[in-house]
């Protein structure tokens, strides 16, 4: 009886051991990177859009960690962007533990404004309709740090040149959903910034001071003001849809006053210091 019981226990032990080995083998056959994709809950659509080369790798059945490593090495920017995904960051993965041999860190484009826009996942069609002049960065730049600086300047210029578009941007539902400070429709109280910019009788010419962003911004303001004053119908064709004016703004009186001042400057009679009133 005792001998029979011992044999039964031994059989059970052997069976358990075989099961454990089989389970371990099954676990070892699982590509750990596939589990990262699963736990990070990254959609196939977003992978194809933002990580096209990674998408091709993981679309294959039975892809290997070596293929993932090849992608990491060949497309360091995609790899760097992948690491910036919030859901990937939350996993706090030591990549070596899943077999990823990290390449040298690629520079990352960093702009909180652009990250807000990207996180909202706004379609190109909606952007073209609501804020068509909204600047997009050159993510293929060889100097992403400088590109980030330039981009922030481009955004500031856009906000001033196209205040109505900026207002649309601030009130776009996809963006307001990510803005905890949003409490209701945000209306900008503004006079178009080009009004009052320095112009002459002649059409403006872009200055060249060495600060191209500043020169371009000033030029665009002057150009709009010049067209508004001297060629209002052309202004309407070029820029009319981009601007609204306060109800009490008298455009014709503004034009007449600017033209009078410029003619007096040209004639050397402005200001008329003999008139003390």
Burial of 244 (0-12, 13-18, 19+ CB in 10 A): middle
Q: Does 168 share its domain with 138?
A: yes
Q: Is residue 277 part of a domain?
A: no
pLDDT in tens, 93-150: 888 888 888 755 667 788 989 999 999 999 999 999 999 999 999 998 888 888 998 8
pTM listed for this prediction: 0.51
12: confidence class by pLDDT, cuts 50, 70, 90 = very low
What is residue 105's predicted lDDT score, i.e. its pLDDT? 61
My answer on whether 174 and 58 are in the same domain is no
Residue 274 lies in a domain: no
Instruction: For residue range 44-56, list pLDDT tens digits in order.
Output: 788 888 899 998 9
Q: How many CB atoms lie within 10 A of CB 254?
A: 16
Q: What is the mean pLDDT of residues 224-238?
A: 96
Instruction: Tell me the average pLDDT of the chain.
Output: 83
10 within domain boundaries: no
Same domain, 145 and 223: yes
Q: Which of 98, 129, 152 is the endpoint of a domain?
A: 98
Total domains in the fold of the chain: 2
User: Are residues 34 and 137 both part of a single domain?
Assistant: no
The domain of 62 spans 25-98
Residue predicted with more confidence, 236 or 40: 236
Closest CA to 199 of 253, 241, 257, 156: 257
What is the model's pLDDT at position 103? 55
pLDDT at residue 275 is higher than 60: no
Length of the chain: 277
Does residue 188 fall inside a structural domain?
yes
Residue 140 lies in a domain: yes
Predicted pLDDT at 26? 38
pLDDT range class, residue 39, cuts 50, 70, 90: confident
Does 271 sit behind a cis peptide bond, omega within 30 degrees of 0 on the bond before it?
A: yes
Tokens (6 digits) for 208: 């060249």
Cβ contact 217:225 at 8 Å? no
Claim to verify: residue 124 and residue 172 sit in the same structural domain: yes
Residue 9 lies in a domain: no
Confidence (pLDDT) at 30: 64
Q: Distance between CA 85 and CA 35 in Å, rounded?
A: 16
| Matching residue, tokens 């709009």 | 224
How much is the pLDDT for 272? 57
């Amino acid at each position: 009886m005792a001998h029979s019981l011992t044999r039964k226990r031994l059989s059970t032990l052997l069976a358990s051991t075989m099961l454990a080995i089989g389970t371990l083998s099954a676990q070892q056959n699982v590509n750990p990177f596939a589990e990262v994709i699963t736990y990070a809950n990254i959609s196939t659509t977003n992978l194809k859009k933002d990580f096209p080369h990674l998408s091709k790798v993981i679309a294959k059945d039975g892809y290997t960690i070596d293929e993932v490593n090849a992608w990491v090495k060949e497309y360091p920017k995609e790899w760097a962007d992948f690491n910036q995904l919030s859901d990937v960051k939350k996993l706090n993965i030591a990549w070596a533990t899943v077999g990823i041999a990290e390449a040298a860190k690629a520079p990352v484009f960093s702009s909180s404004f652009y990250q807000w826009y990207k996180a909202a996942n706004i379609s190109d069609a909606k952007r073209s309709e609501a804020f068509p002049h909204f600047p997009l960065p050159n993510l293929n730049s060889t100097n992403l740090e400088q590109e980030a600086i330039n981009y922030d300047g481009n955004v500031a210029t856009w906000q001033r040149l196209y205040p109505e578009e900026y207002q649309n941007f601030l009130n776009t539902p996809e963006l307001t959903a990510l803005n905890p400070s949003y409490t209701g429709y945000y209306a900008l109280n503004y006079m178009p910034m080009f009004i009052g910019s320095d112009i002459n009788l002649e059409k403006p010419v872009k200055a060249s001071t060495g600060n191209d962003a500043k020169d371009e911004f000033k030029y665009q303001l002057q150009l709009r003001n010049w067209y508004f004053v001297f060629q209002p119908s052309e202004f309407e064709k070029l820029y009319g849809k981009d601007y609204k004016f306060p109800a009490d703004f008298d455009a014709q009186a503004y034009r007449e006053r600017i033209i009078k001042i410029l003619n007096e400057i040209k004639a050397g009679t402005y200001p008329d210091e003999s008139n003390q009133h």
